[in-house]
Amino acid sequence: MSLTHLNDDEVMFRDTVHRFAVEELAPHVRRMDDSAAMDKALVRRLFELGLMSVEIPEEYGGQGGSFFDCVLAIEALATVDPSVAVMADVQNTIVNNAIVRWGSDAQKRRYLTLLALGTVGAYALSEAGSGSDAFALATTAVEDGDSYVLNGRKLWISNAAEAGIFVLFANSNPSAGYRGITAFLVERAFPGFSVGKKEDKVGLRASSTCELILDNCRVAKENVLGKVGQGYKVAIETLNEGRIGIGAQMVGLAQGALGHAVAYAKQRKQFGQTIGSFQGVQFDLAKMATDVEAARLLVYNAARLRDAGHPFVTEAAMAKYFSSEVAERIASKAIEIHGGVGVTKDYPVEKLWRDSKIGRIYEGTSNIQLMTIAKKLLA
């Protein structure tokens, strides 16, 4: 089932975001990568343009767009800088999405409004002992009067350095296993909550990835997102959608790498002619373009299915798996087409290659996606 056609409004939206990325974002990419820090002025611009609140309803200050619009924005940003695409992706596809779907009226009024107007959000599930086994959580939530007291540590939390609101998972009944997991809305200013070490990563360096420390952090019961003991449901359903966002990141990254390779092939000369005149390079570019388009169609189809209310879990897994494989392969091939200069920081393809590696790992490794696909085939 394919639902991939873009209407005129979607084309205009995608092109507007891409123009912003080229004109306003591109000049800062190298500096942000070198310093491993997101430019605060650019973050403000993301909010001003509505790119951090695409699917938040207008009544809370958002754009009232579709999930597919989120995917288009993420893809367009990633063609220029996947790190910035990560910030918008986390905000839209998992943080905002979780609150829109699971939040109470009071939670939506407070938190969606903040997230639409200038507060960055983060999603805190991973821990030292829970990676692919996402529900082996050690962080605890102990009921105490009208609150829960949270203790533990979270690792690999994207957006953590900038975030003011965290969708955070802890186990309120460890004896019940994953059925004790509960989702909480935690504010950065809550006593007992702190952001710890920032990881020094090989790629996506401007995108912050930090540990979170909960030391008797008191969270009011009114900040439980969804129902107590149903955090696993919040996590599973949100991450299924988030994987489509990762797919969009990887498609944008691959498109960016392909664009740089084509441009270089047109101007680099060897043996008295451009290297794009050689059939070997032409075939490489043709295969790269075909892979990008195939990955894009998988991502778009999964997003369309989600918006249409159809089952999409298998399609999301396919999109995330294939696009991440394609992104790494195309970024690597783009370096080869650039030759020796491809491995220098004078050209952008080495950064895209570094950025691509995480795509096969976070929000479900490639093997986890393959398990999901196989489970459907064998059901």
- Residues 64-75: what's their mean pLDDT? 98
Residue 238 and residue 169 share a domain: no
Instruction: Determine the residue type at 78.
Output: A
Residue 33 and residue 114 share a domain: yes
pLDDT in tens, 331-371: 999 999 999 999 999 999 999 999 999 999 999 999 999 99
Q: Using the 3D structure, point to which of 50, 85, 120 is the last residue of a domain.
A: 120
CATH number of the domain that residue 247 is part of = 1.20.140.10
Residue 259 confidence (pLDDT) above 90: yes
- Residue 2 belongs to some domain of the structure: no
Residue 252 and residue 225 share a domain: no
Contact 255, 247 (CB under 8 A): no
- pLDDT, residue 130, reads 84
Closest of 79, 10, 51, 55 to residue 331, by C-alpha: 79
* pLDDT category of residue 135 using cuts at 50, 70 and 90: confident
Domains identified in the chain, total number:
3
Residue 155 and residue 92 share a domain: no
pLDDT in tens, 12-62: 999 999 999 999 999 999 999 999 999 999 999 999 999 999 999 999 999
What's the token pair of residue 287? Answer: 């295969």
Residue 143 and residue 67 share a domain: no
φ/ψ of residue 199, rounded to 5: -75, 140
- Residue 1 belongs to some domain of the structure: no
- Residue 323 belongs to some domain of the structure: yes
Average pLDDT, the chain: 96
- Residue 108 belongs to some domain of the structure: yes
Q: Which domain holds residue 28?
A: 8-120
Closest of 123, 353, 159, 84 to residue 238, by C-alpha: 123
- pLDDT, residue 132, reads 81
- Residue 197 belongs to some domain of the structure: yes
Residue 134 confidence (pLDDT) above 90: no
> What's the pTM value of the predicted model, to 2 decimals?
0.96
Q: What is the 3-state secondary structure (H, E, C) of the chain?
A: CCCCCCCHHHHHHHHHHHHHHHHHHHHHHHHHHHHCCCCHHHHHHHHHCCCCCCCCCHHHCCCCCCHHHHHHHHHHHHCCCHHHHHHHHHHHHHHHHHHHHHCCHHHHHHHHHHHHHCCEEEEECCECCECCCCCCCCCEEEEECCEEEEEEEEEEEECCCCEEEEEEEEECCHHHHHHHEEEEEEECCCCCEEEEEECCCCCCCCCCEEEEEEEEEEEEHHHEECCCCCHHHHHHHHHHHHHHHHHHHHHHHHHHHHHHHHHHHHHCEECCEEHHHCHHHHHHHHHHHHHHHHHHHHHHHHHHHHHHCCCCHHHHHHHHHHHHHHHHHHHHHHHHHHHHHHHCCCCCHHHHHHHHHHHHCCCCCHHHHHHHHHHHHHC
φ/ψ of residue 363, rounded to 5: 55, 40
Q: CA-based Rg of the chain, rounded to a whole angstrom?
A: 21
pLDDT in tens, 266-275: 999 999 999 9
- Residue 3 belongs to some domain of the structure: no
* pLDDT category of residue 4 using cuts at 50, 70 and 90: low
Residue 335 and residue 260 share a domain: yes
- pLDDT, residue 1, reads 34
Residue 164 and residue 248 share a domain: no
Residue 244 and residue 370 share a domain: yes
- pLDDT, residue 2, reads 40
Q: Using the 3D structure, point to which of 120, 151, 171 is the last residue of a domain.
A: 120
Residue 373 and residue 240 share a domain: yes
- Residues 274-284: what's their mean pLDDT? 98
CATH number of the domain that residue 204 is part of = 2.40.110.10
d(CA 244, CA 302): 7
Residue 348 and residue 276 share a domain: yes
CATH number of the domain that residue 110 is part of = 1.10.540.10
- Residue 76 belongs to some domain of the structure: yes
Q: Using the 3D structure, point to which of 85, 120, 155 is the last residue of a domain.
A: 120
Residue 306 and residue 335 share a domain: yes
**363 catalytic residue (yes or no):** yes
Instruction: Determine the residue type at 114.
Output: L
Residue 21 and residue 87 share a domain: yes
By the 10 Å C-beta count (0-12 exposed, 13-18 middle, 19+ buried), 243 is classed as buried
- pLDDT, residue 5, reads 76
Residue 3 confidence (pLDDT) above 80: no
pLDDT in tens, 291-310: 999 999 999 999 999 999 99
* pLDDT category of residue 136 using cuts at 50, 70 and 90: confident
By the 10 Å C-beta count (0-12 exposed, 13-18 middle, 19+ buried), 290 is classed as exposed
d(CA 369, CA 315): 10
Half-sphere exposure of 307 (CA within 13 A, CB side): 19
